């Protein structure tokens, strides 16, 4: 214990922050995003001329460098602005991580983060104060402490607000922020950078917001395996010299490419492999460490998603996973429902309708476990759903089997039924 607390332990890391995907890195460590960096730099250049930068919309899949690049550029502009005596800064908020996705909580969070950047106390409670008063205090801080400020609004589509509202909360937030200068709430040059995986969120904007919010769009595409190798190579110095076995970066990149070119996941995976090596007391990170880290990541991600499901949802998903495992990852809903009924009969559980079972399975789709599409199987099968798993089916099954109620199900016999039903 004392040796651990004193730091007297072997480690493969030289600078662990470099393999923390939340670390803001210099532009020379960013690969494959020259076009996007240039577009962001051109936009932010207006700050140095005393003008308001245009609003930006950064869109593309997860882990493709959207937040990474804009923070790197904003950091560089902040340095240049300080040299010129311009009080410039940026405030980044990820709305997906908030415990409540309401407009009121979003404004409170923006105020809290802005106060931190300004070095003042955010003296507004979370509740008991109107949203308008939160806006007022936010604008006071902005006006008193900044010549120019950029709000980086990450995962903005998560800001949905209350059910049944006329428009999503993000629409109302963008409307207010897009008009803050024209309505003379502040003299500060205030801009927004919206970061999203789903550019179609604009389809739900209120007409007033759509009219006043006109960002410059910058697209980010998936990384391929070769680009991920370059990205990881530029963070090799996170590890001690010779602490990475040959082929480690390549296998991490391959896993990242399987995850839709997600650089953030690849960087996190490389760090996790290093931590596994440390726990084992190994001086070198090996490909086996990477495989162990990936297995753990996949299992933990699936466990987080399906672990809290009700037993009926688990039975529905279990039936779909059993079918998909024997059918190259695809599970036709008629076969799934047959297996589900067998599972219910064997577990002495109530049998729900096929429509309900399909709904339960589609619920897992909202968490990224699978996707569904409606297909026509001809006169015999008619139109039905086909579920296609985006997470490894084996990991889903292993996680579901941790539920004691599913452990008694005779899996081998059921697999034979699945095969026979698929042939029919």
Q: Are residues 87 and 138 in the same domain?
A: yes
Q: Are residues 164 and 277 in the same domain?
A: no
Residue 203 in this model has a pLDDT that exceeds 80: yes
Mean pLDDT for 221-249 is: 95
- Nearest C-alpha neighbor of 364 from the set 298, 418, 304: 304
Mean pLDDT for 167-178 is: 93
Q: Are residues 188 and 264 in the same domain?
A: no
Ranges assigned E (strand) in 112-201: 148-154, 189-196
| Strand, coil or helix: 145 | helix
> How would residue 276 be classed by pLDDT, with cut points 50, 70 and 90?
very high
Q: Where is the domain boundary, 273, 304, 335? A: 304
> Judging by beta carbons within 10 Å of its beta carbon (0-12, 13-18, 19+), is residue 221 exposed, middle or buried?
middle
Q: What is the DSSP code string of 161-229?
A: -STT-SS-HHHHHHHHHHTTTTTTS-SSEEEEEEEES-GGGGGGS-HHHHHH--PEEEE-PPP-HHHHH
Mean pLDDT for 136-147 is: 96
Is residue 236 a contact partner of residue 76, using CB atoms and an 8 Å limit? Answer: no
Tokens 């991920």: give the residue.
228
Cα dihedral sign for 292, 298, 301, 306? negative
Q: Are residues 237 and 377 in the same domain?
A: no
Which tens digits make up the pLDDT trace of 369-419?
788 888 765 434 567 889 998 778 888 888 888 887 777 777 778 888 889
Q: Are residues 185 and 297 in the same domain?
A: no
Q: Kindly report the CATH number assigned to the domain that includes residue 148.
A: 3.40.50.300
Q: Kindly report the CATH number assigned to the domain that includes residue 264.
A: 1.10.8.60
| Range scoring the smallest mean pLDDT among 144-148, 231-235, 406-410 | 406-410
Q: How far apart are CA 19 and CA 240, in angstroms?
A: 13
Tokens 């789903």: give the residue.
198
Distance (Å) of CA 223 to CA 163, 248, 260, 263? 36, 18, 8, 7
Mean pLDDT for 230-249 is: 96
Query: Is 145 a domain residue?
Result: yes
How far apart are the two ends of the chain, measured CA to CA in Å?
61
Residue 252 in this model has a pLDDT that exceeds 90: yes
Q: How far apart are CA 201 and CA 367, in angstroms?
A: 18
* Residue 67 labeled ligand binder: yes
Which tens digits make up the pLDDT trace of 84-93?
999 999 999 9
Q: Kindly report the CATH number assigned to the domain that includes residue 334.
A: 1.10.10.10
Q: Are residues 191 and 275 in the same domain?
A: no
- Nearest C-alpha neighbor of 31 from the set 236, 275, 244: 236
Query: Is 164 a domain residue?
Result: yes
Angle, helices 333-347/311-325, rounded to nearest 10 degrees: 130
pLDDT, the chain, mean: 88
Is residue 217 a contact partner of residue 201, using CB atoms and an 8 Å limit? Answer: no
Residue 2 in this model has a pLDDT that exceeds 70: no
Which tens digits make up the pLDDT trace of 314-351?
899 999 999 999 998 889 999 999 999 999 988 888 99
Q: How far apart are CA 414 and CA 30, in angstroms?
A: 49
Q: Are residues 201 and 53 in the same domain?
A: yes
Token pair for 22: 């939340």
Residue 115 in this model has a pLDDT that exceeds 70: yes
Mean pLDDT for 244-253 is: 96
* Residue 400 labeled ligand binder: no
Q: How far apart are CA 148 and CA 52, in angstroms?
A: 7
Q: How far apart are CA 41 and CA 27, in angstroms?
A: 11
Query: Is 45 a domain residue?
Result: yes
Provide the residue range defining the domain that includes 42: 33-219
- List strands edge to edge, sheet with 383-389: 330-332, 383-389, 370-376
Q: How far apart are CA 181 and CA 51, in angstroms?
A: 12
Q: Are residues 334 and 371 in the same domain?
A: yes
| Range scoring the smallest mean pLDDT among 228-232, 311-315, 361-365, 416-420 | 361-365
Q: How many domains does the chain have?
A: 3
User: Residue 239 phi/psi, 5° resolution?
Assistant: -110, 160
Mean pLDDT for 230-247 is: 96
> How would residue 5 be classed by pLDDT, with cut points 50, 70 and 90?
very low
Q: Are residues 254 and 283 in the same domain?
A: yes
Ranges assigned E (strand) in 110-253: 148-154, 189-196, 216-219
Q: Name residues whose C-beta falls within 8 Å of residue 262's C-beta, 6 or more positions apart in sequence.
A: 61, 62, 63, 64, 223, 256
Query: Is 17 a domain residue?
Result: no
Is residue 323 a contact partner of residue 336, using CB atoms and an 8 Å limit? Answer: yes
* Residue 223 labeled ligand binder: yes
Query: Is 354 a domain residue?
Result: yes
Is residue 204 a contact partner of residue 68, using CB atoms and an 8 Å limit? Answer: no
Q: Where is the domain boundary, 304, 328, 358? A: 304
* Residue 59 labeled ligand binder: no
Q: Are residues 126 and 192 in the same domain?
A: yes
Query: Is 3 a domain residue?
Result: no
Distance (Å) of CA 121 to CA 111, 117, 118, 241? 10, 10, 9, 44
In total, the chain counts a number of residues equal to 424
Which tens digits make up the pLDDT trace of 18-45?
999 888 888 889 999 999 999 999 999 9
Q: Are residues 90 and 71 in the same domain?
A: yes
> How would residue 183 be classed by pLDDT, with cut points 50, 70 and 90?
confident
* Residue 198 labeled ligand binder: no
Which tens digits make up the pLDDT trace of 62-89?
889 999 999 999 999 999 999 999 999 9
Q: Where is the domain boundary, 197, 219, 241? A: 219
What pLDDT was estimated at residue 372? 85
* Residue 66 labeled ligand binder: yes
Query: Is 2 a domain residue?
Result: no
Query: Is 4 a domain residue?
Result: no
Q: Are residues 342 and 207 in the same domain?
A: no
Is residue 55 a contact partner of residue 213, using CB atoms and an 8 Å limit? Answer: yes
């Amino acid at each position: 214990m004392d040796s651990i607390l004193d730091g007297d332990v072997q480690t493969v890391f030289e600078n662990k922050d470099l393999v923390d995907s939340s670390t803001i890195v210099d532009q020379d460590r960013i690969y494959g995003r020259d076009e996007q960096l240039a577009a962001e730099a051109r936009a932010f250049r207006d700050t140095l001329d005393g003008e308001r930068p245009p609003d930006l919309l950064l869109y593309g899949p997860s882990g493709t460098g959207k937040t990474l690049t804009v923070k790197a550029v904003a950091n560089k502009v902040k340095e240049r602005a300080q040299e010129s005596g311009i009080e410039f800064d940026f405030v980044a908020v990820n709305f997906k991580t908030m415990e409540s996705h309401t407009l009121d909580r979003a404004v409170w969070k923006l105020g809290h983060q802005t106060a931190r950047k300004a070095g003042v106390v955010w003296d507004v409670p979370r509740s008991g104060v109107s949203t308008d008063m939160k806006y007022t205090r936010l604008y006071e801080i902005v006006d008193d402490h900044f010549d120019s400020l950029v709000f980086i609004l990450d995962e903005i589509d998560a800001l949905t607000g209350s059910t049944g509202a006329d428009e999503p909360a993000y629409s109302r937030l963008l409307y207010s922020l897009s008009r803050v200068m024209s309505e003379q709430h502040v003299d500060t040059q205030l801009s927004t950078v919206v970061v999203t995986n789903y550019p179609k969120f604009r389809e739900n904007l209120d007409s007033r917001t759509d009219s006043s919010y006109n960002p410059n769009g910058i697209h980010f595409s998936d990384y391929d395996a070769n680009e991920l190798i370059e990205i990881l190579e530029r963070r090799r110095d996170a590890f001690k010299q010779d602490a990475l076995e040959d082929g480690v970066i390549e296998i991490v990149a391959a896993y990242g490419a399987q995850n839709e070119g997600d650089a953030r996941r690849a960087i996190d995976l490389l760090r996790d492999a290093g931590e596994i090596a440390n726990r084992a007391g190994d001086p070198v990170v090996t490909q086996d460490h990477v495989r162990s880290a990936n297995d753990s990541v996949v299992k933990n991600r699936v466990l987080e998603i399906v672990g809290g499901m009700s037993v009926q949802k688990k039975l529905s998903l279990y039936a779909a996973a059993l079918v998909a495992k024997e059918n190259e990852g695809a599970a036709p809903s008629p076969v799934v429902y047959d297996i589900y009924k067998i599972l219910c009969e064997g577990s002495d559980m109530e049998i729900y309708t096929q429509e309900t079972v399909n709904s339960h399975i589609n619920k897992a789709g909202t968490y990224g476990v699978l996707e569904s599409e409606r297909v026509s199987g001809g006169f015999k099968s008619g139109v039905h759903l086909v579920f296609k798993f985006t997470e490894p089916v084996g990991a889903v099954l292993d996680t579901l089997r941790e539920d004691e109620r599913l452990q008694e199900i005779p899996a081998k016999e059921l697999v034979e039924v699945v095969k026979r039903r698929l042939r029919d």
